[in-house]
Amino acid sequence: MFLLRFFCDLHLQYTLLFCYTRFRGARFCDAPVQVIWIPYYCFSASLRRFIVLIDQVMDFAESMISEQEVVKDNLGPRKPRLLLAASGSVAAIKFGHLLHSFSDWAEIKAVVTKSSLHFIDKASIPKGVVIYTDEEEWSSWKKIGDNVLHIELRKWADVMVIAPLSANTLGKIAGGLCDNLLTCVVRAWDFNKPLFVAPAMNTYMWNNPFTTRHLDAISELGISVVPPITKRLACGDYGNGAMAEPSVIYSTVMLAVDSRAQTNGNIVL
């Protein structure tokens, strides 16, 4: 390309020379001018056309390469984008552990409710994981045209996991209520993308008829439940309702998402 441009510059110089020759009194049809200038002009004109062609070919090649890169970004190498959320169950003390379990496999953002903050030890959160609360939902919006956090998170995430899921948040999701960041993300969720919940509550709450109704409602939406387990609960009672172990939640989500990606031709989701 450098050489071609050099020849074009040469053409410019030669044109100046031609003007100078005319200025000195030589005519266009004078033999030296005719012999040198006409073939040179023809040559340089086709050269310019050739350069334009080369430029077009190079533009096309560049656009093909960038298109391929975009396609590659949507394929296997990208980690799934996981939105991990916690609500106000005592099992939120394991939230840091859960984040660590997923951190190699996924790119993570976290959403927590106000009540869950009573149980989450901030020191247990892995470095680099951003935790969003209701405060950020409001402080990040100042005027019309600003991003709305729950919509941005909903667009960003490939998969959402709510662990622990409190009885309260379960009821709100089942009824379509959205009065905080977490439930707003769920209310805006695209149910073609996977959403998992790991309920955690006292046995009395778990066995309450509301729980069955609410679980039926969220199952209809396509939300997957990682069921609770039976053990001695934080309150001292023994029974069902404790959150599944973080390792079980991790393997359930990871296997489901990876197998889904494989059937989708290695596209993340």
Ligand X SMILES: Cc1cc2nc3c(=O)[nH]c(=O)nc-3n(C[C@H](O)[C@H](O)[C@H](O)COP(=O)(O)O)c2cc1C
Which two three-digit tokens encode residue 106? 């996924």
Half-sphere exposure of 196 (CA within 13 A, CB side): 25
106 or 242, CB closer to ligand X?
242
Nearer to ligand X, 116 or 254 (CB): 116
Does 150 participate in catalysis according to the annotation? yes
Residue 236 three-state SS = coil
Question: Which two structure tokens, joined as six digits, stand for 157?
Answer: 């995430």
Give me the residue whose beta carbon is nearest to ligand X: 88
Buried b / exposed e over 95-111, threshold 16 CB at 10 Å, is bbebbbbbbeebbbbbb
Smallest distance from ligand X to CB 69, Å: 41
- 248 vs 177, 243, 244, CA distance in Å? 29, 10, 6
Binding site for ligand X (CB under 6 A): 87-91, 113, 115-116, 166-169, 200-201, 205
**What gap in Å lies between CA 116 and CA 125, rounded to an integer?**
14
Residue 147 C-beta: closest distance to ligand X, Å? 23
Residue closer to ligand X, measured from CB, 21 or 124: 124
235 is catalytic: yes
At closest approach, how far in Å is the CB of 91 from ligand X?
6
Residue 150: CB minimum distance to ligand X, A: 14
For ligand X, the closer of residues 170 and 254 by Cβ is: 170
Residues involved in catalysis: 150, 235
